[in-house]
Structure 1
């Protein structure tokens, strides 16, 4: 059935209930696009901002929010309370995942999810049993609300005395939700640079986006540790990779920025420097907050930050990027080739061929998307430094929100290409994984022949 026909009549009534006729990738991308359009229309209302917003500014802000990116052509402080509520709502919807909300809403309305839609949700949440799907969806929402509430209360300890009851509570709510959903939006123009020496704010915010970035399936499994069941290979990879990537990133920042007076070198105490290095080591894996001036990072630090942004965090999480499991599988494939092993393995488990294929496809698709975005930006933004454009491209793909200060200077065509990159960066890996998982096996098999590699 053609896409136009399915789009004109997306629902079809079967004897057992309503069935969605759109394919899972179409549903996912259109869902995010629709939320972006709705957010754009709301932000264009006079009550949404203290200054008149152009259509492309509203569209960019709405898309950045629903894809939980955090890049902005305007400061969130220029929005009214209504506008900030709109942004926060988009962040929550985009962070928990459009398909998660869709699955819950359809179940509550008595509508039947077709097998294809169930497969997409199963793939995005890494679930193997359809019977536990809705239980996991309810767990996701409940855990998110609990984490955000606790984060709000802890942040309020600092910000309520500082700003007053209601302003302090609002700032705490906004940053708790944005942090858990790995979005880089802040109510302040300089993000959290003013809190660089505050251990409570640094600890709570970093904990929120680490937890949100682990992946809900990992969190669900960790909550069952009392049953003394061994952790799955996926969970062990995510936990180990998260730890080591964070430690390597922190050590690199300390080494490269210790004597930089514009970043770590300008901080008073060793404790504050260590705290800032920790925060900035964790944030690039799609959180998007910053306590250091990203535009003042040295070139080696900026390149390493781009690598962390490209890798991202855990699958089925509020974060994006190619995901840490994809990165680890690629490393295992390279190790297997170098050591002459027939199959990549880790923790006494072999990695299936289909998982390897998926990892290669996702990583290659990510590289192509970043290159395409960067290529177009070099055409539309000829006056901007190449490193800043490359940083912006990777940040848009990984839906991180960190920038070297050029986002607000982008032309309208440049903003549009970043919007597309954010949408594809958010929905692309899941969509590509669905296509690989559900591809049809052909009955015809061709003869093999070697090709020279390297």
Structure 2
């Protein structure tokens, strides 16, 4: 008797992302998408497609100099699909044509966009659609005005659209290789309008769609927000502010040394916002101090919010870790914040997520070191954290890596976008419930 294979929502998401990446790989590898009119190695097409779909930004080629308009369009389309989640994009299309969304599709959307309740999925999709159009459209308009005088109307308009989508989706891809290949935003480190616009888009996309809903529903009545939204907004503010202050004092005498005070402040905030999974750079990270790069790696590790366009271990996971440490030190039984108690499952999930994340990064770093003995451990760790955190920042080693190293980073980007726990759940098809419970025995910890 044949048995039907039943796929769970997280498995469908994992397979769906994989199929989109493969389709993008074949398209980007073809001569039709490259300015040279010749195909590129499939591994490089796969790397670029994975980086775009997983909204990472690591690139073996400069996007402007390598890909023609069709290639650039495919990259930004992959970024949009990856940023909003392919199920979110599919359900948005269903919503626009008036098709009904089934219970199973709603459960898929819960996994894809990180909603807390199945009943709020359709409302979240509607807000996600209109919010994305509003923020990306406004960002495209502002950025276009900056580039139209430099590159002409149509090119400037395309630059506005491309960089607005890439910023909002926390992708980090850019077309600024026209001015200096691989330079990202370093030529515009003194442009407050451009940097503030990009920062705002990054932060807006990074707080997550759940927070959007609370802000729309309750306006500025902070007490009415869900606990998730309160944690996200407070910790986002603190991370950006403390990161900016740290960068100002660390990099003031170093990579920001030749800048006036107002420009130092601007670039300090940009350096604090961008590593939380966007991947744009206003200064060359190879020129940063070791302390500045270490702080960048920490910010890449923490990342953005759940159900957002960003990656990392997620800010709520980091908050749960800090609360757990504080509660243990004070001998409290519960994890409490804003007069609410977190469920015990949240603590277990947070520690499992962090452990999986750290193990994956360390394993990839080790593989990169073995395959590239000439590259420093710092550069390999930086690259691994950037891939797993779907950030896209680099110390300039990406294009020098071989096939094995690229495959390691591809797997890491894929796991980083889906989440290490989600990947493990996708591999394990069934939840195994043990039939017996063994006797308890203590061990020494710490």
Counterpart in the other structure of 2:280: 289
Q: Compute the TM-score of the two structures, normalised by the length of structure 1.
A: 0.90
Say yes or no: does 1:145 pair with 2:145. Answer: no
Per-residue displacement from partner, 1:184-232 (whole Å, max 9, x unpaired)? Answer: 1011221111111011001100000100000011011101124957111
Counterpart in the other structure of 1:211: 204
Counterpart in the other structure of 1:352: 343
Q: 1:35, 1:58 → 2: CA distance?
A: 13
Counterpart in the other structure of 1:452: 444
Q: How many residues align?
A: 434
Deviation at 1:158, TM superposition (A): 1.4
Per-residue displacement from partner, 1:314-335 (whole Å, max 9, x unpaired)? Answer: 1100001110000000010010
Extract unaligned runs of 5+ from structure 2.
Answer: 177-181
Q: 2:68, 2:84 → 1: CA distance?
A: 24
User: Which among 190, 201, 220 is matched to residue 194 of structure 2?
Assistant: 201
Say yes or no: does 1:246 pair with 2:240. Answer: yes
Query: 1:179–1:287: 8 Å Cα contact kept in structure 2?
Result: yes
- Secondary structure of the 1:449 match is coil
Counterpart in the other structure of 1:74: 61
Q: In the TM superposition, what are the counterparts of 1:100-115 in structure 2 within 5 Å?
A: 100-104=88-92, 113=102, 115=104
Q: Indicate how the Cα distance of structure 1 residues 2 and 447 shifts in structure 2: closer, same or farther if over 3 A, else same.
A: farther
33-42 or 227-236, which moves further after superposition?
227-236
Counterpart in the other structure of 1:39: 24
Q: Compute the TM-score of the two structures, normalised by the length of structure 2.
A: 0.92
Deviation at 1:118, TM superposition (A): 3.8
Q: 1:293, 1:375 → 2: CA distance?
A: 25
Q: 2:18, 2:405 → 1: CA distance?
A: 18
Deviation at 1:2, TM superposition (A): 10
Deviation at 1:74, TM superposition (A): 0.5
Q: Indicate how the Cα distance of structure 1 residues 91 and 135 shifts in structure 2: closer, same or farther if over 3 A, else same.
A: same
Per-residue displacement from partner, 1:278-336 (whole Å, max 9, x unpaired)? Answer: 11110000010010101111111111111110110111000011100000000100100
Deviation at 1:45, TM superposition (A): 2.3
User: Which among 167, 176, 187 is matched to residue 164 of structure 2?
Assistant: 176
- Secondary structure of the 2:396 match is coil
Q: Indicate how the Cα distance of structure 1 residues 226 and 382 shifts in structure 2: closer, same or farther if over 3 A, else same.
A: closer
117-126 or 282-291, which moves further after superposition?
117-126
Counterpart in the other structure of 1:11: none
User: Which among 310, 313, 323 is matched to residue 322 of structure 1?
Assistant: 313
Counterpart in the other structure of 1:16: none
Counterpart in the other structure of 1:376: 367
Q: 2:403, 2:30 → 1: CA distance?
A: 20
Query: 2:387–2:413: 8 Å Cα contact kept in structure 1?
Result: yes
User: Which among 115, 118, 122 is matched to residue 130 of structure 1?
Assistant: 118
Deviation at 1:440, TM superposition (A): 6.8
Per-residue displacement from partner, 1:250-300 (whole Å, max 9, x unpaired)? Answer: 11111111111xx20132x11111111111110000010010101111111
Extract unaligned runs of 5+ from structure 1.
Answer: 7-20
Q: Indicate how the Cα distance of structure 1 residues 433 and 45 shifts in structure 2: closer, same or farther if over 3 A, else same.
A: closer
Q: In the TM superposition, what are the counterparts of 1:224-303 in structure 2 within 5 Å?
A: 224-226=217-219, 228=221, 230-260=224-254, 263-267=255-259, 269-303=260-294
- Secondary structure of the 1:223 match is helix
